Amino acid sequence: MSIPAPPYEGGCQCGTIRYRITAEPLTVYACSCTECQRQAGGAFNMSMIIRQSALEISKGTPKETERVSDAGNRIFGYFCGDCGNRIYHRPEQSNAIFVFRPGTLDDTSWLKPVAMVWASSAQPWVTLPEDMTVFEKGPERFDQLLELWAKA
C-alpha cells in the first residue's frame, strides 16, 4: 500500500477545527458495530489509529464528550462544537493513541482499511472486499490490526 508521507491535514465540516497529523497512522480499519453505525449515520465507520503525540490542533478547540461502551469502558469523544463533526476519540485505558475519523482528512484518496471489525453487526447488504480481513467481533488482540497495516 502506498500512503503519502506526513503531515496529513484535515478538519471539521465548517472549518472551525483544523488539525495536522505529523506521523504515519498505526492502522486504518472499518467497524460495523452498532455504535459506529449510529455515529456515522451509515453502515460502518472508519478508524485511523494515531499516536497522541502526532496530533497538532492548528485551529479551534474541540469539545469533549464522554460515553461508556458496552464493555463498561469510558470513551472520550472530541468534536466541533459548531457543526458537531466528530474528529477523534480516546479510550480511557489508552494515554498513547487517538482513534481518528479519517474521513475528516483533506485528502482521503489513499485510505484503505485493512480489516472490518464487528462484521457480525454489519448490515446484510454490505459486501466486503475478498482481500479484507474480517473479524466477527473485535480482534482478540489489538495489535492484530497493527500487524495487518504493517503488511499492507
Contact 43, 123 (CB under 8 A): yes
Tens of pLDDT, residue by residue over 31-89, are 988 888 788 888 888 999 999 999 999 999 999 999 887 667 888 999 999 999 999 99
Radius of gyration over every alpha carbon of the chain, rounded to an integer in angstroms: 15
Which CATH number goes with the domain that contains 91? 2.170.150.70
The values of phi and psi at residue 93, to 5°, are -75, 0
- Asked if residue 145 belongs to a domain, the reply is no
Number of domains in the chain: 1
- Asked if residue 149 belongs to a domain, the reply is no
Contact 87, 14 (CB under 8 A): no
Residue 112 has pLDDT above 70, yes or no: yes
Look at the pTM and tell me if it is higher than 0.85. Answer: yes
Nearest to 113 by CA among 121, 103, 125: 103
Average pLDDT, the chain: 90
Set of cell numbers at residue 4: 503519502
- Asked if residue 130 belongs to a domain, the reply is yes
Residue 145 has pLDDT above 80, yes or no: yes
Measure the CA–CA gap between 13 and 36, rounded to whole angstroms.
19
Range of the domain at 68: 8-139
